[in-house]
Structure 1
Amino acid sequence: MGKKKIVFTGGGSAGHVTPNIAIIRELNKEDWNIFYIGSKKGIEKELVEKVNIPYYTISSGKLRRYINFENVIDVFRVLKGCLDARKVLQKIKPNIVFSKGGFVSVPVIVAARLLKIPIFIHESDLTPGLANKISQRFATKIFTSFEETMKYFPENKTTFIGSPIRREVLQGSAEKGMEYLNFNSKLPILTIMGGSLGAKKINETVRGAIEQLTKKYQLVHICGKNNIDPNMSDILGYKQFEYIHDELADILAVTDIVITRGGSNSIFEFLALKIPMIIIPLTINQSRGDQILNAKVFEEKGYSITLEEEALTTKALITNLEQVFNNRKEMQNAMNLYTKKDALSFLLNEIGRV
């Protein structure tokens, strides 16, 4: 018997791609031929090229919840995307399509349904995005990161499994992390991550408070592309990076507290690593509000505290950090109670049964 074939899709932000890559890395290449369908310009292209699998581009429109002339044009883009996706799927003839959402996934799912290819969807956020709302009727099976999300999907094909965590994130070396950062063990380490797009307000507030922060913490500041401040390169106990790829697991292994956006994949990784969090979710003007809801659930469960970006000042940052630092043991105890499901193994098993 020849190899089975799987097509992954999903894009628009790193959150729609990272879990796909976690699965791709664990799939047995002797059993599977792996392909990816994404957009021409999305972040998924850049990220998928790193894992070295065939990448096909399709036309994709943006799904908007508001009235806009672009919507008319995008209807045609999505229709063209369906034709593009159908052509690619007919060529590959996959056994299964696995989607992480994002607007590029809709044409792929529609085409897969027309070709009677089984479709698996994973929803990371507390409430489904528009792409997964549309796609759910075509899906064979749906999986969720949050138990609370199940109510938004058909009960007979939905399973709560948690978030597929990248195995390498859990295997960091504290020793290598300290060596890479050249930090000491006297002060706790605070890591600041603004998501794949960086975060202007977070970056400015952290830098505005740098004098007070470096008295109490050593800082790892992942500030996003073109956001390095050359004037701050020589500050003792402050290291800034545009991105961190391979060393991230080692850095997280020495991190005591993390300041993060409310993207589901990231916060579930920090939960798995038992790192107390301050979550600064994207505002309702910057997103559909999914990060705000994710943050609310994590705060209710005692894993984090939420600091709204509108309320983000130097003073609020320092106060919230102090609160997390003083309560970090209680937060870690709450995290220990999380009945962690191994979502990655579960998905690999489900995919293997196709």
Structure 2
Amino acid sequence: MVEKNKKLKVVFSGGGTLGSVTPLISVYDAIKEKYPNTEFFWVGTKNGPEKVLIEDKGIRFLVFFSGKLRRYVSLYNIIDLFKIIIGFFESLIFLKKEKPDLCISAGGFVSVPLHWATRFIKIPTWIHQQDVRVGLSNKLMSSFATVITTALEQNSNYFPIEKTVYLGNPVRQDILDVDKQKAIELFGISRKKPIVLVTGGGTGSENVNRLVADSVEYLKDTCDIIHLSGKDRSHELLNKIALDNDHYKTFSFLQDEMKHAYAVADLVISRGGFGTLTELSILKKPAIIIPIPGHQEENVAFLAKSGAVILVDQSTCTGQKLASIVKDILGDKESMQNMSEKLSKLIRVSKKQDILNIFEKIIIK
């Protein structure tokens, strides 16, 4: 049994996008609530969207060198290899100095040098696999991991059975604790029409932004739109559209307000990151998913096949076609209800006590 007042040190890592960040925030919240004296660190990326969220939590944010190993021949592989080596030694120095009790990651190449370094000073690690396709970073870290958890039961087969646990996906509980009326007032929405929330992820998406921009005119009599366009994207055109259309509001990025945007949304249009899909699942929101080609398509495929989400291909979709899909969904309340119910059953949300059980089991060892 771990004493509640014991001073522990935990290092999280991940970033570049919010995909590897949001489930770990839930893990952080669970540990912080039960073990308030724990000291936390976060190793992230220099320019990723995660820094604002992490520092807002009061977690010390660190940036080490890291690099991406591509599965094809590229000069950048050589350059990034040197970055990984530098990051490894930075991590080694940090770990020897701070002597953390545990390092936790949900993937991302920023985590690889750190987790490799733990092996040399015998610090336990926990990695979490979200996506349908096992990422290369988690493959590289799995052999050193003390515990591996998975969001999907099928992915347990890709890792050593003796240290793998089917956990489901952690979700921030604060997204459930929202005053809907306050959320409506926050965005200045009348509620005379359904509300569609559009998000292209933490960094945004030019493809999603283009589709939404082209669909606004077609949806003026159908719905109000809250569009999160991404802080790294161009906003000039979107801001002009917002000035000319009362039913369209655009924001580059939302922090705490994101839970309010979810609360007022009748329909969500998003990318196919597993963290976002899990949030939609627990909130029971009908969704149109426009996945990034690659692993996100695999995340969405089994959900679309079961009728839990509507899958849209960004390469063939137009603004007019997207508007038509939105109109069809909003016009069929029964279909919206069925979609949200199916999604909530297909994606398992991890329980706080299960997260704590794994944490305590590692710490006791």
Q: C-alpha separation between the residues in 2 aligned to 1:343 and 1:309?
A: 34
1:290: Cα distance to partner? 1.1
1:44: Cα distance to partner? 3.5
Q: C-alpha separation between the residues in 2 aligned to 1:6 and 1:113?
A: 16
TM-score normalized by the length of structure 1: 0.92
- Verify the 8 A CA contact 1:305 1:324 in the aligned structure 2: no
Greater displacement, 24-33 / 201-210: 24-33
- Verify the 8 A CA contact 1:163 1:344 in the aligned structure 2: no
Deviations 1:29-82 (A, max 9, x none): 534111122344444434322222223322211221111112112222211211
1:253: Cα distance to partner? 1.2
Q: C-alpha separation between the residues in 1 aligned to 2:270 and 2:146?
A: 34
Taking the TM superposition and a 5 Å limit, the aligned residue runs for 1:96-245 are: 96-225=102-231, 226-227=234-235, 229-234=238-243, 235-245=245-255
Q: C-alpha separation between the residues in 1 aligned to 2:320 and 2:239?
A: 24
SS of 1:165 mapped into structure 2 = coil
Identify unmatched segments of 5+ residues in structure 1: 284-288
Percent identical among aligned pairs is 34
Aligned position for 2:313: 308
Q: C-alpha separation between the residues in 1 aligned to 2:131 and 2:97?
A: 32
- Verify the 8 A CA contact 2:227 2:248 in the aligned structure 1: yes
Tell which has more relative contact order, 1 or 2 (C-alpha 8 A, sep 6+).
2
Aligned position for 1:21: 25
Taking the TM superposition and a 5 Å limit, the aligned residue runs for 1:268-347 are: 268-283=278-293, 289-325=294-330, 326=332, 327-338=335-346, 340-347=348-355
Q: C-alpha separation between the residues in 2 aligned to 1:178 and 1:10?
A: 33
Deviations 1:75-94 (A, max 9, x none): 22211211111110111111
1:312: Cα distance to partner? 1.4
Note if 1:260 corresponds to 2:270: yes
CA RMSD of aligned residues (A): 1.9
1:213: Cα distance to partner? 0.9
SS of 1:34 mapped into structure 2 = strand
Q: C-alpha separation between the residues in 1 aligned to 2:101 and 2:145?
A: 14
Q: C-alpha separation between the residues in 2 aligned to 1:49 and 1:292?
A: 31
SS of 2:225 mapped into structure 1 = strand
Q: C-alpha separation between the residues in 1 aligned to 2:76 and 2:86?
A: 15
Greater displacement, 256-265 / 343-352: 343-352
Note if 1:247 corresponds to 2:257: yes
Note if 1:56 corresponds to 2:70: no
Residue type matched to 1:151 in 2?
N
- Verify the 8 A CA contact 1:259 1:280 in the aligned structure 2: yes
Q: C-alpha separation between the residues in 2 aligned to 1:292 and 1:179?
A: 35
Q: C-alpha separation between the residues in 1 aligned to 2:167 and 2:220?
A: 39
Residue type matched to 2:168 in 1?
G
Aligned position for 1:286: none
Identify unmatched segments of 5+ residues in structure 2: none
Q: C-alpha separation between the residues in 1 aligned to 2:138 and 2:66?
A: 15
Q: 2:8 aligns with which of 4, 8, 13?
A: 4
SS of 1:278 mapped into structure 2 = strand
Aligned position for 1:349: 357
Aligned position for 1:95: 101
Taking the TM superposition and a 5 Å limit, the aligned residue runs for 1:21-100 are: 21-28=25-32, 30-100=36-106
- Verify the 8 A CA contact 1:281 1:295 in the aligned structure 2: yes
Q: C-alpha separation between the residues in 2 aligned to 1:319 and 1:269?
A: 25
Q: C-alpha separation between the residues in 2 aligned to 1:340 and 1:205?
A: 31
- Verify the 8 A CA contact 1:173 1:249 in the aligned structure 2: no
Residue type matched to 1:237 in 2?
H
SS of 1:190 mapped into structure 2 = strand
1:338: Cα distance to partner? 4.4
1:219: Cα distance to partner? 0.8
SS of 1:45 mapped into structure 2 = helix
SS of 1:187 mapped into structure 2 = coil
Greater displacement, 302-311 / 8-17: 8-17
Q: C-alpha separation between the residues in 1 aligned to 2:137 and 2:125?
A: 14
Q: C-alpha separation between the residues in 1 aligned to 2:283 and 2:297?
A: 21
Greater displacement, 21-30 / 241-250: 21-30
1:336: Cα distance to partner? 4.9
